[in-house]
Amino acid sequence: MSQSRLLAKLLENEITDAECKQLNRLLGDDPALRRLYRKYMTLDAMLRWEIAPPLMKVSKEERTAVDSPSPAFLPDTDAPIPDSASRPIPSSYKLPLAHSTLGGWAFSYAVATVFVCLLILGFWAYKLPSDRGSLITTNENSRGLTTPGESSPARPALVFVGRVTGIAGAKWSDAPDYLPPIGVNVRLGRQYKLKSGLLEITYDSGAKVILEGPCDYTAESTAGGYLSHGKLVAKVKKNHELRMMNDESKTRSSDIHHSSFITPHLFAVRTPTAVVTDLGTEFGVEVDGLGNTTSHVFRGSVEVQAFAGGYRNKIVLRAAQSLRVEKGKGSDEAMLVAGVVEPPKFTRRLFGPPKQLDLLDIVAGGDGRGKRRERGIDATTGMEDPLFVPMNRGGHRDYRPVSWHRFIDGVFIPDGAAGLVKLDSAGNTFDGFPETTGRTFGSIWPRATEPKPHDSASDKSHRLWVYAMGRGEQFMPEERGLLGLHSNTGITFDLAAIRRTFPKFVPGRFQAVAGVADASHLTDIADGMVDFWVFVDGRLALKRMNVRPEDAPFGVDVELKSNDRFLTLVVTDGGNTAGSDWAVFGDPVLHVEPGDANETKR
C-alpha cells in the first residue's frame, strides 16, 4: 500500500494493526517520509481544532492525549529513530472527529486546500524583496495563541525556542518539498535551508548561531540543533546552562528530541557523524557533502563525540584547535582525525548597515567595516603587497585591474607625457596631468594610527617613509590611520560594487584630510611638492596644486551621487622630481546614506 494511502487511512481512523506496523517501519527507514508525516499530522491537528464547533465537549481522556502527544505525533525528522526511543503507532489510537457531519471526503478536501495555500504562501515568501539584508528588529512574538483571559488547554501549542535576529543576503533553498519560514520566531523542529547568505538565530537561552549558506539546520531542541550539511558558528554564554535547567525547557526538549547524545543542559550541535557540545565557548562546525564533520574552537572549549553504529569516541578541543570526524569505509564507522591543517573559514559576525566605510580597511583587503591595516598594493601591477616595499617602481603606465578585491577597480601610474591617462575600467580618461617621472616609490599603503615599534625604529631613512615621517597626527584628527600615496600614483574604488554589497545604502560623500609629510629631519634636500587630484567617473572633483610640507593639511569633501560608479584618487609630483613627495590621505572614509536619500541626485 502506498505511503499516502497509509497516512490517509490513519487520519480517517481506518488503519489496521498490520498497516500500523507497515507505517512505523516506513517511518523508521525514510527521513523524507518522517518530515511529510510530521507536517501532515500537525496540519491535521490544527484543522480539527479550527473546524470543531466552539462548544464541543472534550473528554478527560482526549485532553490528556492531546496535552501529552505520542512520539508518533512528532517524529524526529532527520535522524534514524533509535530502538530505545522508538514507539510504534498504536492500533487503538483514534483521532477525535471534528464534527459528526463532516465526512471523510470533505475533510480530505479541506486538508488539500490548506496545503495548497501553504505552498502558495511559501513561494510568496521565497520571492520577498532583497531588504532581507537588514537586521531584523521587530518585536513580533507569536507565543500568545489565545485571547487574553481565556485558555485553550486542549489546543496543541506551538513551542518556540528562539528568534531570528539577523539576516544578510539570505536566499532560501528552492527544493520542492521545502517551505521557507515566515516571521522571526523559531519553532521547535523548524528547518532552515539556506541556498546562500547568512542567518542568525538567538535561542531563548542566550546562545547565538550564525548559519552560512548553503546549509541545512534544524532547531531540534531548546539547547541545540542538527546540521546535516553546511557551516555554522555558535557563540554560547558561559552561564547559559543555568537558564536551561528550568522545568519548561526540559519539557520542550523531551517532546521532540530522541537522541541520547545531546544533554539538555549544554548547547550542542549534532551532525551525521558527531555531536559538538559547548563547554562555555565560541566554535565553528562544518559538514561536507559526505557527512564528514570539522570543528574549530575560537574561544573556550568543546567536546567532540564521534558516533556511528554504536561506536563512540570523544575528545575535548580548546582555543585554536581543530578536529575532523570522518566516515570510515563502512557506513557504521566514524573516526576522529586531529590536527586539521587549515580549518574552514567561518563568518563570526553579522554586521548591521554601516554609517561609513573605511578606505584604509578596503585597501588592506577588507570590506570597509573593519580595521585592517598594514597590507598594501603595488601601483604598477595591482598585486597585493603584504609588506611595504621600499623601492622605486615604474615602467608600466597602463591601467592595472585589481582583480582580487571587488571594491578596488584598479591602479595606475599617471604621466601627462603619455597623453590620455585611463582612470577606470569603464574607459574614462583624463588629459590634464602634468608630465611626471613615470615612476613612484613604495606601495599604496594603509598605515595604522600607531606604527609598530619595529617599523618606526628599524629604518630612519626616507626609504620607509610611511613610518619615518612620524605619527602624523595632524593628518588624522579621528585617529583612523593614513593612506600613503607617494607621488605618481593613482587608485580607483568601485562604488557600484559597494552598492551591490550594501543595497539599501549608498556612498554619499568621500572625506579625508590630505597633505605632505615633512622629510627635513632625515635629509637636507627635502623639497617635496605634490599635486592632489580626485575624480568621480572621470570628472575632476578636486584639484590642489604644489602642496608642500609647510602647508597646512586641507580637508577633502567630495559629494557622490547614487549612480556614480568610480572614485579615483591621484597624486603627481609637482614638477621638481619625486624626491620626498610623501603624500597622505588621513582618516579616508566613504559616508553612506539610505538608498532613497540620493534618488533626487540622479
- Provide the pLDDT confidence category of residue 106 given band limits of 50, 70 and 90: low
* 150 vs 146, more confident: 150
Predicted pLDDT of residue 79: 39
Q: How confident is the model at residue 183 (pLDDT cuts 50, 70, 90)?
A: confident
Characterize the bridge pairing of strands 301-308 and 311-318.
antiparallel
Q: Model confidence at 68, in pLDDT bands (50, 70, 90)?
A: very low
Q: Average of pLDDT values for 305-326?
A: 80
Q: What is the DSSP string of 256-312?
A: H---SSS-TTS-EEE-SSEEEEESS-EEEEEE-TT--EEEEEEESEEEEEEEETTEE
pLDDT band at 192 (very low <50, low <70, confident <90, very high): very high
Is the pLDDT at 338 greater than 80? The verdict is: no
Assess whether pLDDT exceeds 90 at residue 34: no
Is the per-residue pLDDT at 366 higher than 90? yes
Q: So what's the pLDDT on residue 576?
A: 76
pLDDT tier at 69, thresholds 50, 70, 90: very low
Judged by average pLDDT, the poorest of 304-308, 386-390, 457-461 is 457-461
pLDDT band for position 169 (cuts 50, 70, 90):
confident
Q: Is the pLDDT of residue 78 over 50?
A: no
Highest mean pLDDT among 15-24, 342-351, 416-425: 416-425
Mapping DSSP to helix (H, G, I), strand (E, B) and coil, where does residue 357 land? strand
On the question of pLDDT at 518 being above 60, the answer is yes
Given this model, what pLDDT does residue 308 score?
Answer: 58
The strand pair at 224-235 and 282-287 is best described as antiparallel
- DSSP SS3 for 377: strand
330/321 Cα distance (integer angstroms):
27
- pLDDT of 242 > 50? The answer is no
Query: When comparing pLDDT for 42 and 206, which is higher?
Result: 206
- Evaluate if residue 154 carries a pLDDT over 90: no
Q: What per-residue confidence (pLDDT) applies to 553?
A: 96
Percent of the chain with pLDDT over 90: 43
Segment 18-39 shows an average pLDDT of 80
Cα–Cα distance measured from residue 58 to residue 80, given in angstroms and rounded to the nearest whole number: 35
**pLDDT category, 58, cuts 50, 70, 90?**
very low
pLDDT at 331: 57
pLDDT number for residue 67 = 39
What share of the chain in percent tops pLDDT 70?
69
Pairing of β 268-270 and β 274-278: antiparallel
User: Residue 268: CB partners within 8 Å, gap ≥ 6?
Assistant: 223, 224, 261, 262, 275, 276, 277, 278
Alpha carbon distances (Å) from 209 to 199, 202, 269, 543: 8, 6, 10, 49
Structure pTM? 0.51
Q: Average pLDDT of the chain?
A: 77
Question: In which band, very low, low, confident or very high, does the pLDDT at 258 lie, cut at 50, 70 and 90?
Answer: very low
Mean pLDDT across the stretch 26-33?
80
Q: Are 336 and 306 in contact (CB under 8 A)?
A: yes
Neighbour tally for 574: CB within 10 Å: 20
- CA angle, corner 574, sides to 435 and 445, nearest 5? 100
Closest by CA to 191, choosing from 39, 45, 41, is: 39
The dihedral sign for the CA sequence 561, 567, 571, 575: negative
Q: What pLDDT is stored for residue 264 in this prediction?
A: 45
For 407-426, the pLDDT digits (tens) are 999 999 999 988 899 999 99
Predicted pLDDT of residue 122 = 54
**What is the pLDDT at residue 30?**
81
Lowest mean pLDDT, pick from 253-262, 451-460, 541-550: 253-262
- Between 6-15, 91-100, 210-219, 416-425, the lowest mean confidence (pLDDT) is in 91-100
Report residue 4's pLDDT band, with 50, 70 and 90 as the boundaries: confident
Structure-block grid coordinates of residue 553: 593639511
> Please, which pLDDT band fits residue 556 given cuts at 50, 70 and 90?
very high
- Chain-centroid distance of CA 305 in Å reads 27
346 vs 232: CA distance, rounded Å? 7
Q: Write down the pLDDT at residue 60.
A: 43
Query: Mean of the pLDDT values across residues 40-66?
Result: 51
Note the pLDDT of residue 444: 97
Q: How confident is the model at residue 111 (pLDDT cuts 50, 70, 90)?
A: low
95 versus 201: which is more confidently predicted? 201
Q: What is the mean pLDDT of residues 567-595?
A: 89
* Poorest-pLDDT segment among 369-378, 413-422, 447-456: 447-456
pLDDT of residue 32: 79
Residue 253 in this model has a pLDDT that exceeds 90 = no
| Mean pLDDT within 382-391 | 93
CA gyration radius, the chain:
32
Q: How confident is the model at residue 434 (pLDDT cuts 50, 70, 90)?
A: very high
Q: What pLDDT is attached to residue 116?
A: 59
Domain definitions of the chain by residue range: 3-119, 159-338, 392-538+563-581+598-602
Give the model's pLDDT for residue 74: 33
One CATH from 3.10.310.30, 2.60.120.1440, 2.40.280.10, 1.10.3720.10 for 159-338: 2.60.120.1440
- pLDDT tens-digit map of 460-511: 556 788 898 888 999 999 999 999 999 999 999 999 999 998 887 889 999 9
Confidence of residue 306 (pLDDT cuts 50, 70, 90): confident
Q: How far apart are CA 187 and CA 185, in angstroms?
A: 6
